[in-house]
Structure 1
Amino acid sequence: MSMDLPITRLHLDQWDRPADEIDRTLLSLCAGPTLDVGCGPGRLTAALAEQGAVVLGIDVVNGAVGRTRRRGGAALHRDVFDSIPGEGRWETALLADGNVGIGGDPVALLQRLREVLDPRGRVVAEVAAPGTPPTNDWATLECGVEHLVVRWSVVGIEDIAGIAAQAGLAVVEQVQAGERWFAVLEEAA
């Protein structure tokens, strides 16, 4: 790893708030049991649970998992590339807040999610706005005193279809809500 500081700093406190109207638009794209990958402090995991959905948040940051649980959401300290409860049965994998960049290889992440999902399942991914150049670098996840350096990518709305296709998925819907962009990915026909 380079000794330079990561170009992206992700302060989990910025997501430690109740779900808002735009978050609810994102959540409306989820169907059935949902795995919230990189759940952070759990605002979306908790919001889905409050709606009566079966939802599990996973995150590599211990503090984030604790915050999700304190909100009443189910969460595990887990890397998405490790064993996940219910593999092959989840109907939705949620990648909010740019989490399609987890691991620094969006194609590998989407391929992994195909293993986690039911074959009829979907990935709901929040991506960057039009004109955002793709990046592949490092990020620092910060939660209180906990700092974790991870591989991280940024994927824009213009690039998600090509990345999805490389993973055997297709973009079936794109939604803009305020200044945020969402894409729904399903198995390619």
Structure 2
Amino acid sequence: MTATAAHAPWEAGPYAAALRSGRGPLFLRRADGWLLPLEVERWCAEADTADLSALRRCEGSVLDVGCGPGRLVAALKARGGNALGIDISPEAVRRTVRSGGPALRRSFFEPLPREGTWGSVLLLDGNVGIGGDPRALLARTHEVLAPHGVLLAETAPGDVDERTRVHVVDDSAQNTSRPTAYGEPFSWARVGTAALLRYALPYGWRAEGQWASGGRTFVALRRA
């Protein structure tokens, strides 16, 4: 599949419409019909207590990967931080800029500004699943971070370690066996804290902390 085809579900269709309206419901759907809700309303609101529990641990300049509508970048800028959001969705980038935060339309796996100098990388809101390959995502994060930089990741609750193919679908997924989908299926991962540590520690990452807030779970990893 081409990069353009892989990006298509996030560039237009139900995802872009949900960001424009600030409302779901929206899901990732596996071939067997299982649905993972995407929390559009929370993403389009201001940073909440759980978000702030991660943002307080940021160090230096911050790269928010898959920034969505930009609440984390906006919160960091409001606190006087140096932050940049990246996203492959044009609508996400537009909303981030409107919220007062800088953002680029860019894949995490494409060349990025200031590679090797970022103090912190954020992978929240399920973005640890990007690309469906946690090892590749950790390797890319290692390239982007400064020496001894910190990765702040939100993990799936429980002992989860899944790689699958999914579609983005809208609310019709609840009511029909043929939900509205956009673009080709793409690879995604769901990784709990234990699984992320299993991937990270043998490759030189050091666990800095694990915590839960607002029903969400997080881990901090230091680039050794």
Relative to the length of structure 2, the TM-score reads: 0.75
Match of 2:89 in 1: 61
In structure 1, how many angstroms separate the alpha carbons of the residues matched to 2:109 and 2:103?
A: 16
C-alpha change, 1:55 and 1:130, in structure 2 (3 Å) is same
Match of 1:44 in 2: 72
Q: Say which one has the larger Rg.
A: 2
CA contact 2:49–2:214 (8 Å) conserved in 1: no
C-alpha change, 1:110 and 1:168, in structure 2 (3 Å) is same
**Residue identity matched to 1:178:** G
Match of 2:220 in 1: 184
In structure 2, how many angstroms separate the alpha carbons of the residues matched to 1:139 and 1:59?
A: 19
C-alpha change, 1:140 and 1:27, in structure 2 (3 Å) is farther
C-alpha change, 1:147 and 1:85, in structure 2 (3 Å) is farther
Q: Quick one: which of 156, 160, 178 aligns to 2:196?
A: 160
Gap regions ≥5 residues in structure 2: 2-29, 171-180
Matched, 1:16 2:52: no
C-alpha change, 1:117 and 1:159, in structure 2 (3 Å) is same
C-alpha change, 1:62 and 1:138, in structure 2 (3 Å) is farther
Which sits farther off after the overlay, 153-162 or 10-19? 10-19
Matched, 1:137 2:173: no
Match of 2:55 in 1: 27
Q: Deviations over 1:65-85 (max 9, x none)?
A: 111111011000100000000
Q: What is the percentage of aligned positions where both structures have the same residue?
A: 42
Relative to the length of structure 1, the TM-score reads: 0.87
**RMSD across aligned positions (CA):** 2.5
C-alpha change, 1:186 and 1:59, in structure 2 (3 Å) is same
Match of 2:207 in 1: 171
Which sits farther off after the overlay, 168-177 or 104-113? 168-177
How many pairs align? 185
- The structure richer in helix per residue is 2
Per the TM alignment, residue 187 of structure 1 is displaced from its structure 2 partner at its CA by 2.5
Gap regions ≥5 residues in structure 1: none
